Amino acid sequence: MGYSDVYDSWKSDPEAFWMQAAEAINWDRKPSKALYGDNAPLYEWFSDGLVNTCYNAVDRHVENGRGNQTAIIHDSPITHTKHEITYAELQTRVASLAGALRAKGIEKGDRVIIYMPMIPEALEAMLACARLGAIHSVVFGGFAASELAVRIDDCTPKAIIAASCGLEPGRVVHYKPLLDGAIEQATHKPDFCVIFQREQEVANLIDGRDVAWHSFQYGVTPADCVPVEGNHPAYILYTSGTTGAPKGVIRPTGGHLVALNWTMKNIYNVDPGDVFWAASDVGWVVGHSYICYAPLIHGNTTIVFEGKPIGTPDAGTFWRVISEHKVRSFFTAPTALRAIKREDPKGAEYGKYDMSCLNALYLAGERADPDTIEWAHQVMQVPVYDHWWQTETGYTIAGNPAGIEALPVKIGSPTVPMPGYDVQILDEAGHPVPPNTLGAIAIKLPLPPGTLPTLWNAEDRFRKSYLNSFPGYYETGDAGMIDDDGYLYIMARTDDVINVAGHRLSTGAMEEVLASHPDVAECAVVGVTDQLKGQMPIGFVCLSKGVDRPHDDIASECVKLVRERIGPVAAFKLTLVVDRLPKTRSGKILRATMVKIADSAEFKMPATIDDPAILEEIKQALQTIGYAK
Ligand code: COA
Ligand code: AMP
């Protein structure tokens, strides 16, 4: 069967397609049907099944003879260490951790925040929660304490599992003080915190609240897997929306297992036993799906890589890891390749390693620019597959189904919709547009299994953000088109979300921080094109009347404030003090025009602009920092 056959078989009977895919999962009670649409446009999948994620990701492989296979390879050039954990060891470790959590009161449905760097213990913490039916929420280490506090208040965790520190090149990230600060700021307080002490920095434990990872497991009875309903939330992952309040994307257990398992062969073309590597971070959706869950559910070996594409120690690190661990399919963000390309344009490092193990490179997380794809293809001599998805979906919406049929690559397109996704391009009124016409990318409801059923604590926001604009569709927030061959092209976001180094960030959230500076009367943050990171935020601030402090001081205070409140990951380094912001006559800030000016791109003077002269002022301000040439 080729791609079209598989896609058509899904389209002609979606429920049969997914019931068939569900056969690959070990259920405690098989679901009697796939789709639940009584509450449409909210949908659920496999709701009456009973299943455990950890059992499917760990225990069943031990029972099926994979106990001695390596489940996790930790490769940490930043600490100069490597070690491997077999499936049997993983089972013992996770059962013990789950037992200790249970002994302290964690049960099915309780939330647990995980705040950890790229160490296997992060995956173990996720799996231990899954074992108990507890709902984890992993928070990326590059976020500041206040972002952590917002998440604590939203998901009200009974426990937080954290490491003492993370390690960035040249600096230690002090997780524990960040955690303590976040708990202090938050209204909700967890019952207890579990701290994994790393040897690079041992943290102070707070008596009565904090327990140490190892000692709290001493003498506990290991926990068995707790079966949960198919629609039980496996986890909550917060992602950036238009405002400062992050959206808590819920991942439903049954669909997550079924869909992720399906992708491993059909999209990533790996068989159980193969080594699969996604160079991302557990704090992002790629890390959830393709560092932790999918490879383990499918019986692969996954790599937890603690390092950067360059500088740890050089631009050959990725190639060393692939070659040494015999990675068959490799997944990274285009920005990582751009970093390598900048350092090693000829790809000399690649030639130093035996790369015969590698079958294909998969790119996602941001737009894959043609230069990067061509460079990667030339250096690596393997197919380069762009694929498009979102935190909300948890896996590929459009990709190249290499395990079914490798379709011809068209550079600039993530290829075609996967089974489960009826992708359409709509005009502003919600009507489908002809091929090759730009529009909003929408997906006909229902979304497939494993995608978000709603947002945590925020059903109204879910409807407003995704369902209301185009009734009967899910609005992706991306704009693009479909060509005559059915290939999809992703051009831009339609909202205030930007993508910096493959990290999804909200300009609205940054504006909220800038607006809180006492001297700032008004502000705008836009994402401008950046050669390395894809996009980069620039802040424009207008000062309150009477403020006569040096502009440079205010600008650097703004930069500091964003780093303190959102975190270093915002990569917010540039603030310009300007007299006025360009607006429409109705007062809307013309952010898109500001981006065009910064990028030195052509633009049409907006018909509704209030005062065109302000654009010239913006241009001059941008020129002082090397933009708007
Ligand atoms: N914990 C704490 N801080 C972190 C962090 C983490 N897990 N990850 C990043 N940061 C910090 C960085 O140290 C940096 O801090 P600095 O301002 O003190 O230098 C800041 O956040 C910005 O990070 P980033 O935008 O990633 O830039 P960088 O210069 O450190 O690295 C790349 C550039 C291209 C090498 C890096 O962005 C990269 O590897 N990107 C790939 C991203 C990726 O895989 N995304 C997955 C999404 S699918
Ligand atoms: P995240 O939720 O962090 O995975 O970010 C999702 C957003 O990243 C999408 O809505 C797109 O805007 C962008 N994105 C992800 N993958 C791609 C891709 N392959 N091509 C273009 N944009 C992408």
* Model pLDDT for residues 149-173, shown as the tens digit of each residue: 999 999 999 999 999 999 999 999 9
Q: Which of 173, 207, 226 is the last residue of a domain?
A: 226
Residue 243 has pLDDT above 90, yes or no: no
Residue 546 lies in a domain: yes
Residue 239 pLDDT class (50, 70, 90 cuts): very high
Say what the pLDDT of residue 408 is: 98
The predicted-structure confidence for 171-216, as pLDDT tens digits, reads as follows 999 999 999 999 999 999 999 999 999 999 999 999 999 999 999 9
Q: Which of 182, 204, 226 is the last residue of a domain?
A: 226
* Residue in 503, 535, 564 to alter for ligand 1 test, most ligand atoms within 8 A of Cβ: 503
Residue 14 lies in a domain: no
- The answer to whether the CB of 390 is under 6 A from ligand 2 is yes
Residue 175 lies in a domain: yes
Closest among 362, 489, 512, 359 to 425, alpha carbons compared: 489
- Structural domain for 164, as ranges: 80-226
Residue 241 pLDDT class (50, 70, 90 cuts): confident
CA of 537 to the centre of ligand 2 (A): 17
Say what the pLDDT of residue 260 is: 98
- The answer to whether the CB of 280 is under 6 A from ligand 1 is yes
Rounded CA separation 302/274 (Å)? 9
Say what the pLDDT of residue 39 is: 97
Neighbouring residues of 31: CB distance < 8 A, sequence distance ≥ 6: 19, 22, 46, 47, 48, 49, 230, 254
Give the three-state DSSP class for 103: helix
CA distances, 32 to each of 46, 307, 346 (Å):
8, 45, 56
Q: Token pair for residue 461?
A: 């926001």
Residue 457 lies in a domain: no
Provide the CATH number for the domain around residue 101: 3.40.50.980
DSSP class of 17: H
Length of the chain: 629
Neighbouring residues of 398: CB distance < 8 A, sequence distance ≥ 6: 387, 388, 389, 414, 415, 416, 417, 418, 421, 423, 488, 490
Cis peptide leading into residue 417 (ω within 30°): no
Q: Which of 211, 226, 241 is the last residue of a domain?
A: 226
Mean pLDDT, the chain, rounded, equals: 97
Residue 273 lies in a domain: no
For ligand 1, atom 26, which residue shows the shortest CA distance? 501
Interior angle at CA 105, CA 100 and CA 106, nearest 5: 75
Residue 558 lies in a domain: yes
Dihedral of alpha carbons 561, 562, 568, 574, sign: negative
The predicted-structure confidence for 610-626, as pLDDT tens digits, reads as follows 999 999 999 999 999 99
* Residue in 388, 395, 495, 503 to alter for ligand 2 test, most ligand atoms within 8 A of Cβ: 388
CA of 569 to the centre of ligand 1 (A): 6
- Determine the average pLDDT of the residues in 31-56: 98
The predicted-structure confidence for 269-320, as pLDDT tens digits, reads as follows 999 999 999 999 999 999 999 999 999 999 999 999 999 999 999 999 999 9
Residue 349 lies in a domain: no
Rounded CA separation 249/270 (Å)? 28
Longest dimension (CA), the chain: 74
The total domain count for the chain is: 2
| Residue 17 and residue 45 in contact, taking contact as beta carbons nearer than 8 Å | no
- Determine the average pLDDT of the residues in 405-434: 97
- The answer to whether the CB of 144 is under 6 A from ligand 1 is no
Provide the CATH number for the domain around residue 531: 3.30.300.30
- The answer to whether the CB of 496 is under 6 A from ligand 2 is no
- The answer to whether the CB of 365 is under 6 A from ligand 1 is yes
Say what the pLDDT of residue 360 is: 98
For ligand 1, atom 4, which residue shows the shortest CA distance? 142
Rounded CA separation 106/102 (Å)? 5
Cβ-based burial of 531 (10 A; exposed 0-12, middle 13-18, buried ≥19) = exposed
- Determine the average pLDDT of the residues in 258-265: 98
Residue 349 pLDDT class (50, 70, 90 cuts): very high
| Residue 450 and residue 394 in contact, taking contact as beta carbons nearer than 8 Å | yes
Say what the pLDDT of residue 267 is: 98
Answer whether 0.85 is exceeded by the pTM.
yes
For ligand 2, atom 6, which residue shows the shortest CA distance? 390
Residue 513 lies in a domain: yes
